[in-house]
Copies of this chain bind each other. A is one copy, B any other.
Amino acid sequence: MKAQIITIGDELLSGQTINGNAAYIGEKLTALSINVVKTSTVGDDEQAIFNEFQHALENFDLVIATGGLGPTNDDVTRTAIIKFFDTDLIESEDVLNDIKLFFEKRSRELTETNRKQALVPRIAKVIRNNRGTAPGTWIERKGKIFISLPGVPIEMIGMMESFVIPSLQEKLMTTEKKLYSLSLMTTGIPESNLFDRLGDLDALLGSSKIAFLPNQFGVKIKLSIVEKDEHTASEVLSHVEQKIRALIGRYIYGKNGELIESVAARLLIERGLKIAVAESCTGGLISSRLTNISGSSAYFERALITYSNGAKVELLHVNEDLIMKYGAVSLEVARLMAEGVRAVSGTDIGLAVTGIMGPQGGTIQKPVGLVYIGICDDKICTAKEFRFGDDRLLNKDRASQAALEMLRRHLLGIPNEE
């Protein structure tokens, strides 16, 4: 089953509202193995909406439209629907009762404008709305399904959950092929490098497909396959996963959108270890990410954000002469900070970062983007150099990701040198 999602509203075109509805519906349809081939947005313009309906129903089996169903004059979707399907409006008793109840509950008076919302296209099945006053509609014609929902996210979501998703589930034949997918989260290796290391993709993938989705935290490798049988699909995907792991396993920190801080947290909890963090250039970001996880007090003891040299000396007991000798941004100081924060906090592990985030403060020897990360436990104490880019906030993200990856590798005994 192929689908198009149409979102309607001037505020979406002008970027005043980010299109969360399209993402929500796309996710839900994909989970039902419906192939979302296209999404589009048009403004509050009857002709544009009409044209979009036409184009969508010519090309796809399922069309879901949101928006333009409100009571005011800029809401023209309903008019476009009755023109397109060549039908007229009738008052729905159910909807009128829903609207009356809605206003009673809020002790508000029902106006003529509100009452008009009970008018629905004659040929439609009505989708009731228990979070607002605009009903949705479900129209089937020539084997195709057209659904119209309000644009207010909370109302749209309520109607998707209570009616649209269950109804689509019923419609879908269980013998149809479905889309199955699996993602591997990597970090510390660029997209092009991953691509090269995977070698001959056709041989690797068989009947499955691959996509590389990069951002500043790493590259998500998405594997997908269209199959009738779930068991077969998961066998094929896990076979490909194993082959990929054999080639680039050490760069894979998690699966299916997992965050590296969750992985690190789980490993710390499993091992019963406590960590303390010393941050300079990342300014608290690593600690904030480690404490984003519920229950973080089990493994997170404290962090010392030692921005000034004085704080590094005073709080972490880093030798001032060594800061003078090597510079605050150096392999040596990163290691001493990790050692220091571990010692003063009495934790199992110390993790430390120092670097130059930019845009100012770089030199030829020590350019913007240069970062050193140190990690120590009772046996090992090591540090590593990284070179990131020019953007301060992206550098903070990248440095925090690299630090959490060093922690993950440390906990798993994977060498941090490549």
Residue numbers of A with Cβ under 8 A of B are 10-20, 22-28, 30, 36-44, 48, 52, 70-74, 105-108, 111, 113-114, 130-131, 133, 152, 154, 190-193, 195-196, 201, 209-216, 222, 257, 277, 279, 281-288, 290-292, 294-297, 300-308, 310-311, 315, 345, 358-360, 367, 369, 387-394, 396
A44 to B74, CA, bound (A): 34
On chain B, the residues within 8 Å of A292 by CB distance are 283, 392-393, 396
For residue A26, which residue of chain B has the nearest CB?
B15
22 interchain pairs, CB-CB under 8 A: A14-B30, A17-B213, A18-B23, A38-B40, A38-B41, A38-B48, A39-B40, A70-B214, A71-B192, A73-B210, A74-B209, A105-B367, A111-B192, A111-B193, A113-B192, A113-B196, A152-B214, A283-B288, A288-B396, A296-B307, A301-B311, A304-B304
Cβ-neighbour of A23 out of B17, B28, B42, B213 (below 8 A): B17
Cβ-neighbour of A308 out of B193, B297, B393 (below 8 A): B297
A38 to B277, CA, bound (A): 48
On chain B, the residues within 8 Å of A18 by CB distance are 18-20, 23
On chain B, the residues within 8 Å of A38 by CB distance are 13, 40-43, 48, 52
A36 to B70, CA, bound (A): 22
- On whether the beta carbons of A70 and B212 are closer than 8 Å, the reply is yes
A298 to chain B, nearest CB (A): 10
Cβ-neighbour of A39 out of B12, B20, B387 (below 8 A): B12
- On whether the beta carbons of A294 and B360 are closer than 8 Å, the reply is yes
Cβ-neighbour of A394 out of B154, B283, B388 (below 8 A): B154
Cβ-neighbour of A40 out of B41, B133, B296 (below 8 A): B41
On chain B, the residues within 8 Å of A291 by CB distance are 281-284, 305, 307
For residue A59, which residue of chain B has the nearest CB?
B51
A371 to chain B, nearest CB (A): 12
- On whether the beta carbons of A306 and B315 are closer than 8 Å, the reply is no
A367 to chain B, nearest CB (A): 8
Cβ-neighbour of A369 out of B105, B196, B201, B302 (below 8 A): B105
- On whether the beta carbons of A13 and B42 are closer than 8 Å, the reply is no
- On whether the beta carbons of A290 and B283 are closer than 8 Å, the reply is yes
A32 to B250, CA, bound (A): 48
- On whether the beta carbons of A387 and B106 are closer than 8 Å, the reply is yes
On chain B, the residues within 8 Å of A41 by CB distance are 22, 38-40
For residue A309, which residue of chain B has the nearest CB?
B297
For residue A198, which residue of chain B has the nearest CB?
B72
* Known contacts A42-B38, A387-B105; is-contact A10 B286 (Cβ 8 Å): no
A26 to B39, CA, bound (A): 16
On chain B, the residues within 8 Å of A358 by CB distance are 294
- On whether the beta carbons of A27 and B14 are closer than 8 Å, the reply is yes
- On whether the beta carbons of B222 and A72 are closer than 8 Å, the reply is no
* Known contacts A106-B387, A222-B16, A391-B154; is-contact A211 B74 (Cβ 8 Å): yes
* Known contacts A11-B211, A48-B38, A192-B113; is-contact A305 B283 (Cβ 8 Å): no
* Known contacts A39-B40, A41-B38, A285-B288; is-contact A215 B279 (Cβ 8 Å): no
On chain B, the residues within 8 Å of A301 by CB distance are 307-308, 310-311
- On whether the beta carbons of B315 and A308 are closer than 8 Å, the reply is no
- On whether the beta carbons of B30 and A23 are closer than 8 Å, the reply is no
- The residue in A13, A190, A292, A308 that gathers the most chain B C-beta atoms within 10 A of its C-beta is A13
A7 to B404, CA, bound (A): 32
On chain B, the residues within 8 Å of A307 by CB distance are 291, 296-297, 300-303
